[in-house]
Amino acid sequence: MQAREWLVLSRLPGVGSRQLATIAERSPAWPQGWLATLPGEAATALRLWLEHPARSPIATLLEADQAWLAADPARHLLHVGHPAWPDLLGQIADPPPVLWALGDLAALSSPRLAMVGTRRPTREGLGNATAFARELASRGWCVVSGMALGVDGAAQQAALEAGGRSVAVLGCGVDLVYPPRHHRLYRRLQEPGGLLLSEHPPGTRARPGFFPRRNRIVTGLSLGVLVVEAAEKSGSLVSARLATEQGREVFALPGSIHNPQARGNLQLIRDGAVLVRDIDDILAELTQWRALPDPDAAAPPPVSTGEGAASSADPLLRWLSGSPTPVDALVGLSGLGIAECQRRLLELELEGRATQAVGGWVRLPSPPGAC
């Protein structure tokens, strides 16, 4: 489906993201298949828009949405099928039907790690957020967070200042600054390397209920989540729980037993989160990312595999291993466009060199007698 259809679905009343995702998995034909499966209120609204658009409230909303998108080339509507849509979101139970984007879509092409923590960090917590974000940026990772005060904002600012990439997922429209104190960071996230995302249309003001929902996107976009510093009842623990439910790795920095702002971290470690001392502790768990490419190094020459084996020497094989690697991460590592990356993966699958698994693509052992 095209952007217009996804935009209409996102505006339907009486249907949530989880239900839309369940229906989308069946690949219903547009529009009749959707009309047959949508719940009553949503189906009625869609039918009205299709048959009598001038009488439909959706038509007015759609016109405003399209006008906002057309006003600036840095504004985008992401959806399944869009070249920049993060495939990792397809693994969660309730992905947003669309994501409103403002900034540099290239930020989504790097492997991503979420960094979260308290809004009232200690000096040590702020220092750790800054240091880990800078190191992640230097290793080619994108820092994902919610642009909140404290740890979140400090990590994102540090990643960008180090020349890296960062994605902020907002609990309001991407055209609004929340919290207002992060106006400078908000502007920086619209420059190269930065990106603002939201499932809410432009003009939507922040509400308390939006932030827990926002957190599922922060973790869903990421291969794992690093909790830098969190109290026992911190919202960061909600993010950690969501990450676990989504099959993501949870990492936590240890803290003093005398620091109330670190008790949440100690609880996470007690419950099984990976204790982190440095960046290598994180990358050791995310085994497919142990060797990120050096941007200044020349690519190795293709391996010759004999006549008729051009596809088996595909450079994508360099980035595949026995651990699943998501498509959007392969795009960032290989430098290929998403369409070209998907085409090559299909060829490798047909040759029996790679296959799709939960969490991404894996490399298959060479068949007996293969060169």
Q: Decide: 264 and 234 in contact? Cβ < 8 Å.
A: yes
Residue where the block lists tokens 């008790």: 263
- The mean predicted confidence, pLDDT, of the chain is 88
Question: Cα(2)–Cα(74) distance, rounded to whole angstroms?
Answer: 19
Question: Cα(104)–Cα(238) distance, rounded to whole angstroms?
Answer: 28
Q: Decide: 332 and 110 in contact? Cβ < 8 Å.
A: yes
| Tokens matching residue 321 | 């291993």
Q: Quote the pLDDT of residue 250.
A: 96
Stretch 42-71: mean pLDDT: 96
Chain mean position to CA 183: 23
Q: How confident is the model at residue 141 (pLDDT cuts 50, 70, 90)?
A: very high
157 has a pLDDT exceeding 70? yes
Peptide bond into 31 cis (omega under 30): yes
Sorted by sequence, the CB contacts under 8 Å of residue 96 that are 6+ apart come out as 10, 17, 89, 199, 217
Percent of the chain residues topping a pLDDT of 70? 90
Q: Decide: 325 and 319 in contact? Cβ < 8 Å.
A: yes
Q: Decide: 80 and 24 in contact? Cβ < 8 Å.
A: yes
CA-nearest of 133, 190, 185 to 164 is 133
DSSP secondary structure letter of residue 96: -
Sign of CA dihedral 40, 14, 195, 277: negative
pLDDT digits 0-9 by tens, 190-228? 999 999 999 999 999 999 999 999 999 999 999 999 999
Q: What is the pTM of this model?
A: 0.80
Q: How confident is the model at residue 339 (pLDDT cuts 50, 70, 90)?
A: low
pLDDT digits 0-9 by tens, 262-319? 999 999 999 999 999 999 999 888 865 543 443 333 333 333 333 333 334 677 888 8
Q: Quote the pLDDT of residue 371.
A: 41
- CB environment 73-92: b (16+ within 10 A), e (fewer): eebbbbbeebebbbbbbebb
CA-nearest of 174, 155, 75, 161 to 112 is 155
pLDDT digits 0-9 by tens, 95-121? 999 999 999 999 999 999 999 999 999
34 has a pLDDT exceeding 70? yes
Question: Cα(190)–Cα(79) distance, rounded to whole angstroms?
Answer: 20
The H-assigned helical ranges of the chain are 3-10, 17-24, 32-37, 40-51, 57-70, 123-138, 151-161, 183-188, 210-220, 235-245, 263-270, 279-285, 327-334, 338-350
